[in-house]
Structure 1
Amino acid sequence: MKLSAHRFRRNRTLLLSALLLALIAGFTAGAQPEFVGCSTQDLTPVPDTAAFSPAATAFAEAGSGSATEEPLPEKWVCLTFDDGPSKTTPDVLAALNTAGVHGTFFVVATDYNEKYLPLLTEAAAAGHQIALHSASHEYSDIYQSSDAYWEDIALLKERIAPYVDVESIRYLRFPGGSTNTVSRRYGGKGLMKQLKAEVEQKGLQWVDWNVCAEDAVGGHPSADTIYRNVVRETGQQTNCIVLMHDSASTRTTAEALPDIIQWYTDNGYTFLTVAEALPLS
């Protein structure tokens, strides 16, 4: 017996709904999708192609309560950029300079970005903060031991010394953040705790983040996606350190910057460098 058109459409809708519910049930009961963004999952040794672990309160533990001559504004944000300089850097600087905003650049000095290192001089002259990240950004090398880590930092300082005053740089960001777990593969479970203590003993300050743009994940997210990621992760937070990237593969970050800056401006945030927000005592 043939079904009427109305009954056919109704049955098809019920069937599709049942299939969707079954898929959802199987999905939630089975393996979960790989989380992309800033997760606490183990990192890969490939620089900036996987998620970085968040450290939502680590910057407070690292010294955000230091005394300052003037109190910080109620709402402030630091725009930070890892893994530059690169061919993307001029566009990032242009967006920041046009808006009159100073950023903080956690830089690398690899064989791949040597020709862009002179851009550090331009960035520093414009009032942006230069901070340390890594010479190689190879987790398997730098996290072999404490000695290996500090050798990497020494090499980084040597390579950028012609362009900035390295002796005045007091801030750094660990590749993968201070809560990363990938370092355990190479230097053992206690390595990061040791490195953080050594950083502080040397009068330096390590800096994490509590807002991640997720701009270095696979798939090359669009400028609009990066903007929405920043807005979503900021949420109701009033003090934000935003992790973005300044690498050759993250050009859409520069495209997103004007909208990101405008959003923070419209919502009453003051833009600070990390040194301004987290001054060393």
Structure 2
Amino acid sequence: MSDREEKTGKNDNGKKNKGGKRNKIIAIEMIILVLLIMAAVAIFIQRDKSVKEAAKIHNQKAKKTEQTPQAAQKENEIEEETEGTEEETGDRDEAVPDRSNFAVQPGVSVGTTEQSDEKIVYLTLDDGPSDNTQAVLDILDKYNAKATFFVTGEMPEYKDMIKAAYDKGHTIGMHTYSHDYAKVYASVDAYFQDLDQIGQMVQEEIGYVPCFIRFPGGSSNTVSKKYTAGIMSTLVQEVQNRGYQYYDWNGSSGDGSVRTTEELVAQATSFDSNNIILLCHDSHGKQTTVEALPQIIEHYQSLGYTFKALDRDSFVAHHGVNN
């Protein structure tokens, strides 16, 4: 190969090398250009999105501003509805009579032993409250009947039912805290200690100690003689001296013993005095009493009787004292 040919070959290779480098540079420049275009498009899209979002927020604010009077009107309507609800609640509270005068007041007599001409059943329920008390309250509500609950502290987990009954317009009386004959009839002092205990529990629920009481076993019970001779003769006088009144009964469902629902209904509906103080129980286990109550109430209501709760002027039934 001649010097000319060698030189020419070198020149051709140099041109090829230069051409290759130029192509690479162009390719890189194109890639960069494409990337720049893509970045610009992305920025434009993001900017457009931000503009639209800002416009949307502005429109929402404008719309909210336009609706403000309506919202204010709606707010006023809600306030009026709330005030109406409060007024209705107040009306309901006023519908429940004030019975603070039912509190024990030494020196003030309670009740009368003379029956009125009005046909009244004074339904009384002993030994509660318990898991049966709510069912009894529901039945009384259904028949628009009022009753008197002579309560104990035997199931303190249900003591809130005392207030529930009171708030529905029923009368609360006391039947001693323990209902333990050996304890309450151990002495006169023991009886009043137990009575004070149930009085405190009732006061926590309704705000005062009521004047209405019922002796365990009634004033005619003879079991007290086993513990203290003559104690009932003393207690019937002493409770009245202290401002209480004790209530026995002139009608009983017989649910102090185990009876069927039918037997309870038959016995409870067998009385015809103008004023009937009817003894029943709402204690634990007295499911048959719950089942019998609707029929008992319906029977007397069909004969023109009204079911009322005891008050300071109500008829008082007293048994003969046997100890």
Query: TM-score, normalised on structure 2?
Result: 0.61
Structure 2, gaps ≥5 residues long:
1-109, 317-323
Q: Please state which structure has a larger fraction of its residues in helix.
A: 2
Looking at structure 2, the residues matched to 253 and 201 of structure 1 have their Cα atoms a distance apart, in angstroms, of 35
Correspondences of 1:1-281 after superposition (within 5 Å): 63-65=111-113, 72-110=116-154, 113-167=155-209, 169-188=210-229, 190-218=230-258, 221-232=259-270, 234=271, 236-275=272-311, 277-278=314-315
Query: TM-score, normalised on structure 1?
Result: 0.70
> 1:238 deviation in Å?
2.2
> 1:158 deviation in Å?
2.0
Looking at structure 2, the residues matched to 187 and 165 of structure 1 have their Cα atoms a distance apart, in angstroms, of 33
The one-letter code matched in structure 1 to 2:146 is H
What's the secondary structure of 1:163's corresponding residue? helix
> 1:65 deviation in Å?
4.3
Structure 1, gaps ≥5 residues long:
1-61
Looking at structure 2, the residues matched to 203 and 162 of structure 1 have their Cα atoms a distance apart, in angstroms, of 20
Higher RCO (Cα < 8 Å, 6 or more apart): 1
> 1:124 deviation in Å?
0.4
Looking at structure 2, the residues matched to 124 and 202 of structure 1 have their Cα atoms a distance apart, in angstroms, of 23
- Kindly indicate whether the alpha-carbon contact (under 8 Å) linking 1:109 and 1:160 is maintained by their aligned counterparts in 2: no
Deviates more, 1:256-265 or 1:222-231: 222-231
Looking at structure 2, the residues matched to 65 and 81 of structure 1 have their Cα atoms a distance apart, in angstroms, of 20
- Kindly indicate whether the alpha-carbon contact (under 8 Å) linking 1:73 and 1:270 is maintained by their aligned counterparts in 2: no
- Over the matched positions of the two proteins, sequence identity in percent amounts to 36
Looking at structure 1, the residues matched to 216 and 261 of structure 2 have their Cα atoms a distance apart, in angstroms, of 24
Looking at structure 1, the residues matched to 121 and 290 of structure 2 have their Cα atoms a distance apart, in angstroms, of 17
Looking at structure 1, the residues matched to 118 and 204 of structure 2 have their Cα atoms a distance apart, in angstroms, of 38
Q: Which has the larger radius of gyration?
A: 2
Looking at structure 1, the residues matched to 282 and 216 of structure 2 have their Cα atoms a distance apart, in angstroms, of 14
CA deviation map 1:160-183 (0-9, x unaligned): 33212233x111000000011011
CA deviation map 1:167-216 (0-9, x unaligned): 3x11100000001101111011x210100111110111000001111112
The one-letter code matched in structure 2 to 1:95 is I
> 1:128 deviation in Å?
0.4
- Kindly indicate whether the alpha-carbon contact (under 8 Å) linking 1:135 and 1:153 is maintained by their aligned counterparts in 2: yes
- Kindly indicate whether the alpha-carbon contact (under 8 Å) linking 2:116 and 2:274 is maintained by their aligned counterparts in 1: no
The alignment's C-alpha RMSD in Å is: 1.7
Looking at structure 2, the residues matched to 99 and 216 of structure 1 have their Cα atoms a distance apart, in angstroms, of 24
| Aligned length, in residue pairs | 206
The one-letter code matched in structure 2 to 1:239 is N
Residues 120, 149 of structure 1: CA spacing in aligned structure 2 closer, same or farther, 3 A cutoff? same
What's the secondary structure of 2:227's corresponding residue? helix
> 1:223 deviation in Å?
1.9
Residues 215, 158 of structure 1: CA spacing in aligned structure 2 closer, same or farther, 3 A cutoff? same
What's the secondary structure of 1:84's corresponding residue? coil
